[in-house]
Amino acid sequence: MKQPLGVILAGGLARRMGGGDKGLLPLGATTLLAHVIDRLEPQVAGLALNANGDATRFAGFGLPVVADSIDGFAGPLAGVLAGLDWAADQGADTIVTAAADTPFFPCDLVPRLLLASEGMDRPLVLAATPDERRGGVRHPTFGLWPVALRDDLRAALQDGLRKVVLWSDQHGGREALFTQQGIDPFFNVNTPDDLVQAELMLGGAK
């Protein structure tokens, strides 16, 4: 399998943060988005940003910006579709997505998603972490997605599907389990308090 392309999902409305672009918020000496780029870029063959509105606000990052093709802020799956359409134009077979507000995700995210996909004709794998009560918690913004299913995903979104796991389960999606050692690798910044917590966590991130 060719190395996946990477797509950072930054198309949300950030309601709990008061609106705007969470990825542009400061974290340490840089921004949330810069931390995500630094983690994902070395793991993929190329990188794009999924965001809506005026793309020039991200010009300083030097990445192509792809907007949702489904109207009405349809959630992460709309961003996945935008990434798959972009990847198809690049001749890629798969993408790996990461959320723009999750700065501590694993530096081996991509190889472990690929390992979990072995033997799949259409690789579809979501990152997950253990949970004593539920067995595992899937993180639907972190996944490996096949370009071959983009038209199926488009049709599902147009029919009103919004839940990532419902669609991935329909196509035999797997999980790649990431155990927590120290900080939560999928800690995401939703509120101002979360941003304060991320600053405290920054020193312990590896």
Per the domain annotation, does 195 fall within a domain? yes
Nearest Cα to 125, choosing from 134, 112, 135, 137?
112
Asked, for residue 145, whether it belongs to a domain, the answer is yes
Q: Range of 189's domain?
A: 5-201
Report which DSSP code applies to 125.
E
Task: Give me the CATH number covering residue 46.
Answer: 3.90.550.10
Contact between 195 and 27 (Cβ < 8 Å): yes
Residue 92 lies in a domain: yes
Phi first, then psi: give them for residue 162, nearest 5 degrees. Answer: -130, -20
Q: Are 179 and 185 in contact (CB under 8 A)?
A: no
The residue written with tokens 């997605």 in the block is 145
Alpha carbon 167 to its chain's center = 16
On whether residue 80 sits in a domain, the answer given is: yes
Within a domain: residue 206?
Answer: no
In a domain, 81, yes or no: yes
Task: Kindly state whether residue 140 falls inside one of the protein's structural domains.
Answer: yes
Provide the whole-model pTM.
Answer: 0.93
Q: Is 166 helix (H, G, I), strand (E, B) or coil?
A: helix
Q: What is the pLDDT along the chain (206 residues), one digit of tens a residue?
A: 789 999 999 976 544 444 568 899 999 999 999 999 999 999 999 999 999 989 999 999 999 999 999 887 678 999 999 999 999 999 999 999 999 999 999 999 999 999 999 999 999 999 999 887 766 799 999 999 999 999 999 999 999 998 999 999 999 999 999 987 778 899 999 999 999 999 999 976 65
> H helices within 45-140, ranges in order?
76-89, 109-116
Residue 123 lies in a domain: yes
